[in-house]
Amino acid sequence: MSAPTDGGRGALIGITAYAEQARWGEAWDLPAALLPRAYVDAVAGAGGVPVMLPPVPGIEHAVAGVDALVLAGGGDIDPGRYGAAAAERTAGVDPGRDASEFALLEAALERGLPVLGVCRGMQVMNVSRGGTLHQHLPDVVGGDAHRRRTAVFDPHPVRVSPGSRTAEVLGRSELEVPTYHHQGVDALGAGVVATAWTEDGIVEAVEFTDEPRALGVQWHPEMGDDPSLFRWLVEEAGSARAER
């Protein structure tokens, strides 16, 4: 297959979705597979074609038809996956979504697809390699800097390791990012390296040492005005497609 001349434009970008009760229109209130529109717009704005991947058994086979994977944000991962009991504030655990996303990540990496983990998605990446999580950050850092208000993506500063892949993608080593999370990385998994941190020392980005096309961030780039991470993903998707 010849290399694309459009830098990956038109690449199919799979985005993991939620299974939730939802309301729309004048009468409908039904179980739904859904995704915040910001992810769709961010992928499309970077030149990719967004494809929603619902949390159903066997969804990992969908990686055969996409060029990259976004592990989206959402509820907490089952602490049993990293050998812990659920803490009081752990919430929104969905075993079906956990199963589908861990399987999707493994299948995507086996196929050589680029992966971008966002918030929960970064945590999935770490736990998949044997890492652990802090289950409630206010208990660790003594404040609410990572989730100040309900349903508001407030900004906070992040320091990125110079020379890291993350810094290369972002084009700088200091930035303000939109954030909304109450859990975070504790112990790093095998082959997982931290590349960005907040002032209180919480990990804000990770890379896989053995997978140059896998990158995770704890913040929500889809809610900000910096498209660099999604542009990187679409470009890498085009390159990966050309190599297959």
136 tagged catalytic: no
Q: Residue 187 to residues 87, 138, 151, 203: CA-CA distances in angstroms?
A: 17, 17, 28, 10
For strand 192-197 and strand 203-208, is the pairing parallel, antiparallel, or unpaired? antiparallel
Catalytic residue among 60, 101, 119, 181: 119
Catalytic residue among 101, 222, 235, 236: 222
Q: How far apart are CA 87 and CA 220, in angstroms?
A: 24
Cα 46 to Cα 234: distance, rounded to the nearest angstrom = 7
220 is an active site residue: yes
106 is catalytic: no
> How is residue 68 written in tokens?
């990259």
Look at residues 235, 239, 241 and name the one whose alpha carbon lies nearest to residue 43. Answer: 235
Catalytic residue among 134, 146, 181, 220: 220
User: Would you tell me how many other CB atoms lie within 10 Å of the CB of residue 99?
Assistant: 17
Kindly list the catalytic residues.
119, 220, 222
